[in-house]
Amino acid sequence: MCGIVGYIGPKNAYPVLIKGLKRLEYRGYDSSGIALSQNNQINIFKKKGKVSELEYFCSEKETYTNVGIAHTRWATHGEPNDNNAHPHHSMNNTFSIIHNGIIENYERLKKDLLNKGYTFYSDTDSEVLANLIEYMYNEGDHVNAEQAVRMALSRVVGAYGLVVMCKDEPGKLIASRVSSPLAIGIGEGEYFLASDATPIIEYTKNVVFLNDKDVAIITKNSLTLKSVDADEEITPEIHRIELSVGELEKNGYDHFMLKEIFEQPKTITDSFRGRIDPVTKEVFLGGLSEVMPRILDAKRIIIIACGTSWHAALIGEYLIEEYAQVPVEVEYASEYRYRRPIIREDDVVIAISQSGETADTMAAIRLAKEKGALVLGICNVVGSSVARETHAGIYTHAGVEIGVASTKAFTAQVTVLTLIALRLARKHQTITDERYFTIIDDLISVPDKIESILIKHPSIKKIAKKYYKAVNALYLGRGFLFPVALEGALKLKEISYIHAEGYAAGEMKHGPIALIDNNLPVVVVAAKDRYYEKVVSNIQEVKARKGNIIAVITEGDSALRDMVEDIMEIPKCDEVVSPLLTVIPLQLFSYYIAVLRGCDVDQPRNLAKSVTVE
């Protein structure tokens, strides 16, 4: 979704801004733009399409400056075009603004401004904000840019991450946020602003994450933090970001998604590293230790998430209910936040989010906190809103995930959920020693087993070649592998635009069976587990209707090998860890199909990596 970059300091700002925009491309966008403070005026260049088009557009222009802001826009108000792209300027060009989020009361504000004689050139809510700031600046006595921004923001309802430049105060950037992330990188006599840390880390590791309603006033030598509502200075809290630039590069892979699929043996190891005692094999979750008594007293666990994280949550439900014997409910954050759910003080709510910034998930977290529940976070991005706003939590340690379609973050989430289920099961004494140690041993062996699946990628590519022209696809699974079927279908539709449905195999007869004919690829996740025989029956039902079956099977399963058209094999494993293995061939299958269809794998159309608006 929209991305923000800003720079102030001794460098030429233009290349820093363009590079920053490119770092943010992974978030998904449809236009981009740049505003440069030059000779006491602000020059704005913007273009629909990719950042490379903006760069081409600017190639003949004078772009040198030491202060500038830049933006990638993902359309909400008004179609993607040059006009609606950011930065926006106020009517008299005094202010220029880049804005992520949505100003909910923009229509009323716009009406007031129209009545006061303001005119508008775009369909965006952000232009309204630019004009509101200018109005405040011109109306008050001796109002400076910072005061005008704070006055305007006090009238705004909605979400924003924004950076403002004022023509009259050229050596200054003013930034603020509510519900939309904004980070400030601190260099030597220079500052970098961005909506996530990726554009910043090659310059500095020292970052301040703005909190809601913070207003940052930045010159090349100073960072002053205040609040929208109060003039007193706040001391900025500086975080150190342990990210390397190498993590932001493809390192020889054709796409970030492929790189991230292949990283999973390492990322899963990183997720359980230091959390399983090498001698006693007990699970230790440092992030939860202080709140563990309350977790153990919980009458119910509610897991909230969106997208792929929601699929991980379903696996968590199955694991926690079975092994820790605690009732679990899984909710879409977008539904939960609006449907007046019953939340009790003895509930534990777990929010799962790769980015830690998903707007619906954040709203659900705030609701659960308001109602007195203990709210835990499982997230990947260090310092993200989920990490900061939950009572306690666990990082997944999957590293930066750039491909929009989530892969390594999913398996890291499932790993963490497995650890939580095992920890609770041990504490509640609802698991036998034998079962516990079997699962732990199998979890530790998962990275090696994934390596052995990844080696077979050419065979999966071959299968993709057979099916890449399909129009529809059906994915089936049972038990722990039902959410894997959902995730497999989601991966395919996200990046290849093939319509794919994931279903609980037992539900097939209640609808999807009507779709089956000899044109429909049916992907069945059929590893050897307690449901295996049932899944084989489902396969027979598909076969009887001439569907083309691609089965994910356990090595050595000659019965299924002979029964279906195509197979993707996983090594023998305990059923508890089978989601971590079976999802790998499905990720690769979607990837190769999308490549064969010529799709933009890392930045699929209309999707965003971090969905910061609802």
CB of 441 to ligand G6P, least distance (A): 29
Contacts of 507 (CB under 8 A, 6+ apart): none
Identity of the residue numbered 408: K
Q: Are strands 3-8 and 191-194 parallel, antiparallel or unpaired?
A: antiparallel
Our CA dihedral for 417, 418, 422, 425, rounded to 10 degrees, sits at: 60
Considering the complex, state which of residue 295 and residue 359 has its C-beta at the smaller distance from ligand G6P.
359
Considering the complex, state which of residue 296 and residue 607 has its C-beta at the smaller distance from ligand G6P.
607
CB of 302 to ligand G6P, least distance (A): 16
Considering the complex, state which of residue 21 and residue 306 has its C-beta at the smaller distance from ligand G6P.
306
Please give the Cα distance from 351 to 340 (Å, whole number): 17
Backbone torsions φ then ψ of 123, nearest 5 degrees: -95, 10
Between 408-428 and 307-319, two packed helices, what is the crossing angle to 10 degrees?
A: 20
Q: Which helix (H) or strand (E) holds 387?
A: helix 385-389
Considering the complex, state which of residue 33 and residue 101 has its C-beta at the smaller distance from ligand G6P.
101
Considering the complex, state which of residue 131 and residue 354 has its C-beta at the smaller distance from ligand G6P.
354
Considering the complex, state which of residue 382 and residue 607 has its C-beta at the smaller distance from ligand G6P.
607
> What is each CA distance from 22 to 172, 221, 347, 354, 402, in whole angstroms?
24, 26, 42, 21, 12
Please give the Cα distance from 299 to 160 (Å, whole number): 37
Determine contact, residues 237/228, Cβ cutoff 8 Å. no
Considering the complex, state which of residue 312 and residue 422 has its C-beta at the smaller distance from ligand G6P.
312
- By Cβ distance, which residue is nearest to ligand G6P? 307
CB of 409 to ligand G6P, least distance (A): 7
Determine contact, residues 424/323, Cβ cutoff 8 Å. yes
Instruction: Kindly state the greatest CA–CA separation across the chain.
Output: 83
Contacts of 442 (CB under 8 A, 6+ apart): 573, 574, 576, 577
Please give the Cα distance from 343 to 265 (Å, whole number): 38
Considering the complex, state which of residue 88 and residue 609 has its C-beta at the smaller distance from ligand G6P.
609
Radius of gyration of the chain measured on its C-alpha atoms: 26
CB of 305 to ligand G6P, least distance (A): 6
CB of 352 to ligand G6P, least distance (A): 7
Considering the complex, state which of residue 531 and residue 591 has its C-beta at the smaller distance from ligand G6P.
591
Closest CA to 70 of 150, 13, 121: 13
Give catalytic residue positions: 2, 609
CB of 354 to ligand G6P, least distance (A): 4
Strand partners, 97: 88, 164
Tell me which residues touch ligand G6P (CB under 6 A): 306-309, 353-355, 358, 361, 404-406, 607, 609-611
Per-residue DSSP letters for 173-228? EEEEEEBS--EEEE-SS-EEEESSSTTTTTT-SEEEEPPTTEEEEEETTEEEEEES
CB of 255 to ligand G6P, least distance (A): 15
> Ramachandran region of residue 194, left (φ > 0), alpha (ψ -120 to 50) or beta?
beta
Please give the Cα distance from 575 to 439 (Å, whole number): 9
